[in-house]
Each structure stands twice: as C-alpha cells, then as structure tokens.
Structure 1
Amino acid sequence: MKRVTIYALSLGALLSSCNIYKQYNRPEVDVQGLYRDPVSVTDTLASDTTNMGNLPWEEVFTDPQLQQLIRLGLEQNSDLQTAVLKVKEAEAGLMSSRLAYLPSLGLSPQGTVSSFDKAKASQTYTLPVVSSWEIDLFGRLLNAKRGAKVMLLQSEAYKQAVQTQVISAIANAYYTLLMLDKQLAITEETALLWQKSVETMKAMKEAGMVNEAAIAQSEANSYMIAASIPDLKQSIRETENSLSLLLKQAPQRIERGKLEDQNLPTLLNAGVPVQLLSNRPDVKAAEMALASTFYNTNQARASFYPQLTINGTLGWTNNSGMGIVNPGKMIATAIGSLAQPIFNKGALTARLRIAKAQQEEAMINFEQSLLNAGSEVSNALTQYQTAQDKIIQREKQIFSLEKSVDYTQELLTLGTSTYLEVLTAQQSLLSAQLSGISDEFQRMQAVVNLYHALGGGRTE
C-alpha cells in the first residue's frame, strides 16, 4: 500500500511539473497601426515589404569620408567594445550552464598520524576522487541553461543596438559639421558683402545721398554679422570634439566633404510594423528579457520538486575500518540522495511570486519597447516630410529675397529707397539662407533617424 501511494505521489508531481519544461513562445502583440502616415489624415500608412532598415549602412551613407569614420567608430567606440565584452560574459555563462549537466570531480587526499600511550605511531591515508552528479528530474538545470541562452541573445541584441546607435550618432555629427561649414561659408561671404556695403555708403555720403546715421547703421549690421562668425567656429570645434569622442580618439579636426555633395536615399520605405520584432535590437533585447523571466519562473516552480543527487568516491586507503593494512586497498562508495523541500517558511512561494511579477513587468516593457519603436519611426517620417515641405517654400523665399536685395540697392542708388530698406532686405536674405541650410540638414537627419528607428546598421 505504501509503495502504491509513493508511486501515485511521484506520478502526480511529474504531471504537475510538465509546465516547467515548456519553452518560451512570443506572446500575442498587436503591431498594427504602429506607423503614422505623415500626410494622410486617416493616420494609415500603406505597408511595404521593402524596408530601408535592411539596407547595409554603406548603401545609405555613401560619402567616402563618412564611411571611413563609421568604420573607425565600429572598431574603436568604447560603448561598442563594452557591449562585445558583455556578449563574451554571456557566452561564458551559457557554457557554465551546459557543463552543469556533467558530474563534478574533485581530489580530496587525507593523511593521519596517531599514537596512543606512547605506542608506535600509526599512519593512515586516503586518496579518493570525489564525484557529485545532479539528476535533472524537474528541469532546474534545463531552465537555467535556457535562461543563459536567452541572456546571450539579449546581450547580442544589446550589442546590435549599440552598433546601430554608434552609426547614426557618427552620421548625425558628420552632417552637423557639414551644415555648420555651409552656414559659416555663407556668413563669411555675407560679412564681406556688408563691408563693401559700408564702403558704398561712405561714397554715397560724399555725394550727399545718405547721412551719417545710414553709415553708422550699416557698420553696426556689419559688425553684428562678423560677431556671429566666432560662435559658428566654436560650434564646429565642439562638434568635432564630440565626434572624436565617439571615435575614441583625442579631439582633432575631422576631414569631411560638403553638404551639397551628399546623396541620401529619397525613397523611404518603413516596411511593415511586424518587422520591428526582428529588426529592432532594443525590441529584441526586451523580448529576450521577457524570455529570461519566463525561465526564471520555471526555475522557481522547479524548486518545489525533489532534487536527486548521486555522490560517489573512488580511491585508495590503508584504513580498513578494523585496522591499518599495508599496502593500501581500493575504496569505493556510491550514495544517492533525494531532497524534497517540506517547510521553508514560505521562501519558495515568495520566490515564485517574485518571478511571476518580474515576468509581468518584462511583458509591459516589451510592449512599451514596441510602442517606442513605432513612435520613433513615425517621428522620423514626419520629420522628413516636414523638411521636404519647408525646403520647397524656402527656395522660393530665398529667390524672392535675392531679387528684393538687388531691387532695393538699385533704388537706393537712384535715391528712391532708404538704407533701412536695403539693410532689412539683406538681413532677411541671410536669415533665410541659414534657415535653408538647417532645413536641408533636418531632411538628412530624418533619413539617419529613420534608418536607426528601423534597426538599420545591424550585422546578422
């Protein structure tokens, strides 16, 4: 009767523990509508299987000097090097969890010298090899191994996320330098023109066409433009220093091309939202964190079941138990132990509850990472469309202001216009030209941001 009861209890434990052998499966997540259409009022973006994020970064960023900087960053960036080391740490953890299935071996030699009542000393020794082997009946080691594997996948996804971030950060810094270079060139050119304008004003004063106030005002505006040049140079120097840090090198001048020579993709395909699950490294890392908590919960469940361990000893000894014999004889023992937790003050129950709560937290983080990814894609698409619309109107504005400057200067020489109208037209033209450069940079930045948001720059 007792034997039947034991078999029944063992069978019940086995059946109730089936859940701890289950593998992680991705939960159902709704990815429809993650992307907003930047122009449609219905917010419905037509899906396209073509995904810009799948392009190699060399095909997106074609500037040879930028490509050289990106390659240098992928080799030297500190954050990326740290991420590579984290992958190696996770690989070591996975190897350790796999080796846990094997028995442990250890050499434990012992020697004793004893004497009673001044009698001749007796010497005993034992030279055993001790072994211990845990039999994984209820999946404790299995879930530990699976958990270590998803931790490795999570660290690899983190490395991919850092790599994607490094590429986009270098590209954004590079294009920022090109924008500042162009703004500096236009500002310096404008400063020279305004200096000539001051000389023209002085000549017109000699002819009695303008007064001292006009000369003073034109000089003040000339000095204002000249004063903005050091600020632009400072911004260029600081951006070069920031880019040097990304490349893990001392601050230095960055060799670069020109803004007008850049060729970036003009057809931006975001693909279908479900691709974010496999393309976005941070989303993948969040999912692997969820899988890790799933296996932690299984381990917590496995703690409620018996743990079977086999211990053995094999070696030589000259102690037979009845006396001391020489030479020594072989000794061998084997012990099987079954440990079943009965009362542990609720520690196992608390551990299981904590594991379940952490799994729910990881699920929330996974869902939020998807929403964040969709928001970033939508923002980049909107940024590109906004910059595109602004560029079209800005070109028309600059064209009109250039004509306005020419007309007012001609009218001033004819005496039918005032110097204030000329200065106003020149200031408006400079402002529009600088804004036009910013608009072009915004469009380029949108391409970089979209490429990053779609998980571009990863290595499979």
Structure 2
Amino acid sequence: SFTLAPQGGVSSFDNSKGTWTYNLPVTASWEIDIFSRLRNGKLRNKALYYQSIEYRQAVRTQLIATTANLYFTLCMLDEQYAIANETASAWREAVDAIRAMKDAGMATEAAVAQNEAAYYSVETSVKQLAQSISETENSLCSLLAQTPHKIERGSLESQRMPADLLIGVPVQLLSRRPDVRRAEYSLMSAYYATAEARSALYPQITLSGTAGWTNSAGSQIINPGKLLLSAAGQLLQPIFQAGANRARVKIAKAQQQEAMLAYEQTILNAGQEVNDALTACQTARESAALYDQQVASLRRAVESTELLMQHGSTTYLEVLTARQSLLSAQLQQVANRFTELQSVVTLYHALGGGRETETAQ
C-alpha cells in the first residue's frame, strides 16, 4: 500500500509573526507473504470469477438448446396439423358417404351419429393444434426478444442430424459442461480457502517506510525543509485468536470436502444425462422403421374395412376403429421423429454445448 498524506499549518504566539510548518510524507507498506495467505486469497477469488464465467456459458447453452427445441416443436406441430387436417377431410367425406348410405337404407342413424362424432373430434384436434402452433411461435419470439410473428421454418422430415452417434462418451468430454466446470472451480475455491485459513495460524510480517519533505523537526522549524526518512518492521503473531483460527481451518476443510462430493455428484449426473440422451436417440431411430410399418399396415386396414363396409360384410364400427388407430399411429410416428431430434439437442446440452468459452488467462 502507498499513502500520501500532506499536512501543513500556521501558528502564532502572543501576536508574533505566524510560523508555517509543513510535512509531505509518502508511506509505503509491504506484507511479506511468506505463508501464501494473500496468494491463496487471490487464487480463491479468481476461481470464483471463473465460476461466474461458466455460469454465463451455462445460460448461453440453455438458450441455444431451448431455441432448437421450440423450433423442432413447431415442425412437429406442423406435421401433426397436416395429418389431422387431412384426416378431418377424410372423415368429412366419410360422413357424407354414410349419410348417403342411410338414405339408401344401407346404414343406420347410429352409424351416422358415430361418424359425425368422430369427425367433430378430429376437427377439435385441428383447432387445438393450430392454437399450440401459435403459442409455440409466440414463445420462440419471446425467447428471441422479438414481437410475435410468423416463424419461417422447414418440415420435420427435412431436418438432418448426425447419422452416427457415439455409443460411449469419454469422461474428458464431460469436462466441457459448464456445471462440471463450475463445480471444479468451486472445489478450487474451497481448497484455496482452506489454505488461506491455515495461513492465519502463522505470523504476519510487514515492512513499512516513510519518505518525504518537512520543515518541522521536532520542536524546531527549519527553513528550507529537509528530507525525512524512516523505516519499520512489524511481526504479528496470533495468540488469543489461535483457537478461533483453528476452528476456521476445520470449517474450511469441511466445506472443501462438501465441494468435493458436489463435484463428484455433478460428474455422475452429467454421465447419466449423456447416457439417457444417447439411449433416447437410438431408441427413437430404431422405432422409426417400426412406426413406418405400423402406419402402412393400418392404411391397408382402413382401405379394406371401407371396401368391406361398402359391400355390407362389415360394420361402421370396424371402420371407425381402423381410422382412429391410423390417426393415432401417424401422430405417434411424428412424435417419435421429434423425440429423435430432441434427444440430439439434449445430447448437445448434456455435453456442454457447441460454443467455446473464453479462455481465462
């Protein structure tokens, strides 16, 4: 530390001529950091600073992942809306056909009512999907700090993701995660806090000196002034606070152990999230072919039951069941594709994101 403390004054005794005195000292003090108390304190605060940088990276990665999920959600809702709208058109034609069959005496009023109820249910789903699309667009606009507007986007099938994903992820990749790095810096901070608390048990040595210009030499006033020099050393050894300092060391050690356990748990959680994302992506890709086969089979079932009903060898209930099963399978097929895309985004997030953090110097 450096201190400049100029002083001056004038004095007069019994109406005599005033006498000016002045003192222009510069004082410097330096603590010899033999036991690294100051160094450990500096390193501890630097670790806390790096921890805040990792928090910013975590927020940035979360923002990117949320934006991607909302975009893929819009693509999924578009696909589901198209399927539901197409199904509603087919139901509308089926209602007209069943009414014509009723007029010809080939169907009952119950069949007409059942088909109409199914049609209205699909139309309601179309309206709800349109509402969900609008709400998702508004959420994405709000996330991007924009006023609500139509989001330009592609189709769900046009989205391309890496064809091959790692079956296993090296532990080194988990070190990129902001939460893992934050836990690491928290552990570093606790370590240096323990070292700093331990340094308080040892003496502190401080050197200080003063240099300046003064015309006040004790009881004498000298004009012109003379150079003033002084030096001193100080040794401070805690005696009565030794017990409190030892208690602080024990507390710091306990907090360091707590930080170590939190770091280990963060690593375990990171590995679990990565494994879950990989499993979800692989399961969705394996299920895609099965959903394709299921939808194709249900389409054939719908065509067959419609032909059978027209020739009077089956009932309208079988047609209703086949169409409802087809619609459900088509929606699940789209949802499975969305799950695949979402799991890749989750994997991106679980591995710490794709943006490089600023290298701390």
The one-letter code of the counterpart of 1:209 is M
**Partner Cα separation in structure 1 for residue 172 and residue 142 of structure 2:** 33
Q: Deviations over 1:247-280 (max 9, x none)?
A: 2333433221110101101211155432145332
Equivalence for 1:176: 73
Residue 303, structure 1, aligned to residue 203, structure 2 = no
Equivalence for 1:3: none
Deviation at 1:118, TM superposition (A): 4.7
Task: Indicate how the Cα distance of structure 1 residues 143 and 368 shifts in structure 2: closer, same or farther if over 3 A, else same.
Answer: same
Residue 138, structure 1, aligned to residue 35, structure 2 = yes
- In the TM superposition, what are the counterparts of 1:2-401 in structure 2 within 5 Å? 104-269=1-166, 271-344=168-241, 346-401=243-298
**Partner Cα separation in structure 2 for residue 244 and residue 423 of structure 1:** 40
Task: Indicate how the Cα distance of structure 1 residues 335 and 253 shifts in structure 2: closer, same or farther if over 3 A, else same.
Answer: farther
Task: Indicate how the Cα distance of structure 1 residues 453 and 437 shifts in structure 2: closer, same or farther if over 3 A, else same.
Answer: same
**Partner Cα separation in structure 1 for residue 197 and residue 315 of structure 2:** 85
Equivalence for 2:313: 416
Task: Indicate how the Cα distance of structure 1 residues 277 and 347 shifts in structure 2: closer, same or farther if over 3 A, else same.
Answer: farther
Deviates more, 1:222-231 or 1:239-248: 239-248
Deviation at 1:228, TM superposition (A): 1.4
**Partner Cα separation in structure 2 for residue 270 and residue 152 of structure 1:** 35
Residue 437, structure 1, aligned to residue 322, structure 2 = no
8 Å contact from structure 2 (residues 174, 351) kept in 1: no
**Partner Cα separation in structure 1 for residue 252 and residue 174 of structure 2:** 24
8 Å contact from structure 2 (residues 201, 242) kept in 1: no
8 Å contact from structure 1 (residues 128, 315) kept in 2: yes
Q: Deviations over 1:378-420 (max 9, x none)?
A: 2112212322333222222111111111111111221222222
8 Å contact from structure 1 (residues 276, 283) kept in 2: no
**Partner Cα separation in structure 1 for residue 231 and residue 155 of structure 2:** 78
Deviation at 1:330, TM superposition (A): 2.2
**Partner Cα separation in structure 1 for residue 120 and residue 50 of structure 2:** 59
**Partner Cα separation in structure 2 for residue 296 and residue 270 of structure 1:** 40
**Partner Cα separation in structure 2 for residue 151 and residue 248 of structure 1:** 30
Deviation at 1:149, TM superposition (A): 3.4
**Partner Cα separation in structure 2 for residue 107 and residue 267 of structure 1:** 68
Q: Paired residues, what number?
A: 357
If the length of structure 1 is used for normalisation, what is the TM-score? 0.73
8 Å contact from structure 2 (residues 174, 271) kept in 1: no
Deviates more, 1:149-158 or 1:330-339: 149-158
**Partner Cα separation in structure 1 for residue 28 and residue 226 of structure 2:** 19
Task: Indicate how the Cα distance of structure 1 residues 282 and 272 shifts in structure 2: closer, same or farther if over 3 A, else same.
Answer: same
For the pair shown, the structure with the greater C-alpha radius of gyration is 2
- Provide the alpha-carbon RMSD of the alignment: 1.9
Gaps of 5+ in 1: 1-103
The one-letter code of the counterpart of 2:99 is K
Task: Indicate how the Cα distance of structure 1 residues 432 and 357 shifts in structure 2: closer, same or farther if over 3 A, else same.
Answer: same
8 Å contact from structure 2 (residues 197, 252) kept in 1: yes
**Partner Cα separation in structure 2 for residue 360 and residue 397 of structure 1:** 54
8 Å contact from structure 2 (residues 79, 156) kept in 1: yes
8 Å contact from structure 1 (residues 289, 362) kept in 2: yes
Q: Deviations over 1:157-183 (max 9, x none)?
A: 333333332222221111111111110
Q: Which secondary structure does the structure 2 equivalent of 1:261 belong to?
A: coil
**Partner Cα separation in structure 1 for residue 256 and residue 148 of structure 2:** 45
If the length of structure 2 is used for normalisation, what is the TM-score? 0.92
Gaps of 5+ in 2: none
**Partner Cα separation in structure 2 for residue 254 and residue 318 of structure 1:** 80
Q: Deviations over 1:337-357 (max 9, x none)?
A: 111111116321221111111
The one-letter code of the counterpart of 2:297 is S
> Alignment partner for residue 452 of structure 1, among 339, 342, 349?
349
Percent sequence identity over aligned pairs: 55
8 Å contact from structure 1 (residues 273, 374) kept in 2: no
The one-letter code of the counterpart of 1:455 is G
8 Å contact from structure 1 (residues 276, 373) kept in 2: no
Q: Deviations over 1:21-58 (max 9, x none)?
A: xxxxxxxxxxxxxxxxxxxxxxxxxxxxxxxxxxxxxx
Task: Indicate how the Cα distance of structure 1 residues 336 and 245 shifts in structure 2: closer, same or farther if over 3 A, else same.
Answer: farther
**Partner Cα separation in structure 2 for residue 270 and residue 422 of structure 1:** 44
**Partner Cα separation in structure 2 for residue 246 and residue 308 of structure 1:** 55
**Partner Cα separation in structure 2 for residue 239 and residue 126 of structure 1:** 73
**Partner Cα separation in structure 2 for residue 188 and residue 277 of structure 1:** 44
